[in-house]
Structure 1
């Protein structure tokens, strides 16, 4: 005869095993059934390079690039997925440096989109007021007149030998269960030319 405690222990072990198997199946199914995303656009409105210093101790004067941009992309398929917890969006600039031959990939802007943001996302780093109609299920990202959140600088201190850069908006999907997945949400229409430094 088994005691009540032994029976409860057996039932809890059996239930834990079934739950782990179920979570494993959900993880595998979500990985292979990841919805496709139509690649949107990144439109650069303005890009300037000027001399400046970073806000840190003993920072030297160097060339720093500032940019204004618009982003249009539809992440509705990802946000409507049953296993999506949140998305991490980040805009990168990738370019080659002719003098050293190194390839740089710099993060300029980022944003976390939670499952509760299943509506138009237009503000940069701010939550939108709820619409009166209460519509949900929309994941349109519309960034207008956005600015680079992080300083864009080159390790050499100058952009003189860098003619252009490729801008790409990436996403990383964090599921409730399973592994992280990533992809491309939007790209610029061709390389973006980097202008000469503004002389004061």
Structure 2
């Protein structure tokens, strides 16, 4: 005859096993939902100056500021298992010494939460009320993931360990994303198609060069 403790242990074991199996099924269900992200990005205003890129920088150095425009559709990344999507833009360029080293610097980022996780955003009451209203009657608000930025100011400056950044060639802007699910593993933008998940289309600017250091008035 099983005692009370044994029955509690059996019940708890059944619960955890069931929860584990359900979690695996939910994580695998992501592959059923198609992903077709796309975007167009281009630089608008380029500026290179000499100074301290941050208030805590120990010395003056060359740093660049790149304004850009972005038109992206990442709405297909949101489904029943999406908690939030981390979006960021990088400036990339090859090392000037002819090696295969590629430099990459984040210049802008943002977090887009799903309607079910809006409480995780640090927003005010008015914005929260608007977000909840937009998601009423919908499993996923279709406006989530639609980015239309014009002449966007960068959050971060472009620097290099050498302190030299002016007149760089073959610089490109690239859009990236990272999907954080409620259950499962983190996924990033893909280089190739995988089942119903398509690689990020476009989202890379044409190559451009940074200007010379701006002269002081």
What's the TM-score bracket when you normalise by the shorter of the two chains?
0.7 to 0.9
In structure 2, the partner of 1:172 is 178
Segments of 5+ residues of structure 1 without an aligned counterpart are 119-124
Aligned pair 1:149/2:193, yes or no?
no
SS at match of 1:112: strand
The question of whether the paired residues in 2 share the 8 Å contact of 1:165 and 1:191 is answered with: yes
CA distance 1:33–1:93, change in 2 (3 Å): farther
Output one character per residue of 1:130-169: Cα deviation in whole Å (capped at 9) or x when no partner. 6599434112112233111112112221124621311111
Distance 1:49 1:34, change over 3 A: farther
Higher helix share: 2
User: 1:153 and 1:133 mapped to 2: Cα distance?
Assistant: 40
Q: How big is the alpha-carbon RMSD for the aligned residues of Structure 1 and Structure 2?
A: 2.8
Q: CA–CA distance in 1 between the matches of 2:47 and 2:115?
A: 36
Aligned to 2:52: 53
Q: Which residue of 1 aligns with 2:215?
A: 199
Question: Which residue number corresponds to residue 94 of structure 1?
Answer: 92
**TM-score scaled by structure 1?**
0.82
C-alpha distance in 2 between matches for 1:23 and 1:153: 43
For 2:45 and 2:178, the matched residues in 1 are separated by 27
Q: Compared with structure 1, are the counterparts of its residues 161 and 133 closer, same or farther at alpha carbon in structure 2 (3 Å cutoff)?
A: closer
Q: Secondary structure at the match of 1:151?
A: coil
Q: Is the counterpart of residue 84 in structure 1 residue 82 in structure 2?
A: yes
Alignment size in residue pairs: 192
**Residue 195 of structure 2 aligns with which residue?**
none
Question: Is structure 2 residue 28 aligned with structure 1 residue 12?
Answer: no
Give how far 1:117 is off. Answer: 9.0
- 2:28: which partner in 1? 28
Matched residues in 2 for 1:50 and 1:86: separation?
A: 36
Structure 2: give runs of 5+ residues left out of the alignment. 136-140, 190-199
What is the alpha-carbon distance in structure 2 between the residues aligned to residue 91 and residue 163 of structure 1?
18
- Residue 188 (structure 1) shift: 3.7
- 1:172/1:180 contact within 8 Å kept: yes
> SS of 2:13's equivalent?
helix
Taking structure 1 as reference, are residues 4 and 72 closer, same or farther at Cα in structure 2, changes over 3 Å only?
same
Structure 2 residue aligned with 1:40 = 39
How far off its partner does 1:28 sit?
Answer: 2.8
